[in-house]
Amino acid sequence: MLFHKDSELARAEVSRRLKVLAWTLFGAEESDAVVVGELRFTEPGCPPVETVLALLRPGGHLQVKIDEPLLDVVESDVREAFLADEHARHDS
């Protein structure tokens, strides 16, 4: 099935794919939740759009940020963010 890049179906598929990858990279457990979101900024010095992958678990959370819109994020971006962001491996 073909769909437009900006369609909700495309966003849902990319989000699902990123959640699965983040679940593995975070080492998530059954009681954890992984969320994927896209944030937009208008403040000077901030990227205009950022994709955030977060692990929510009892007692804390972990997250990584990617300075790209959700639909532009690919697996290598996520892997690089996990390697580069020391906070992704420690509770906040």
pLDDT at 43: 87
Half-sphere exposure of 59 (CA within 13 A, CB side): 3
Helix (H) or strand (E) segment spanning residue 78: helix 75-84
Q: How much is the pTM?
A: 0.81
Which residue, 36, 14, 41, is CA-closest to 26? 36
Is the pLDDT reported for residue 89 higher than 80? no
User: How large a percentage of the chain has pLDDT more than 90?
Assistant: 64
Domains of the chain, residue spans: 8-89
Full DSSP string of 10-34: HHHHHHHHHHHHHHHHHT--TT-EE
What's the longest Cα–Cα distance across the chain?
Answer: 42
Confidence of residue 85 (pLDDT cuts 50, 70, 90): confident
Cα 13 to chain centroid, rounded: 13
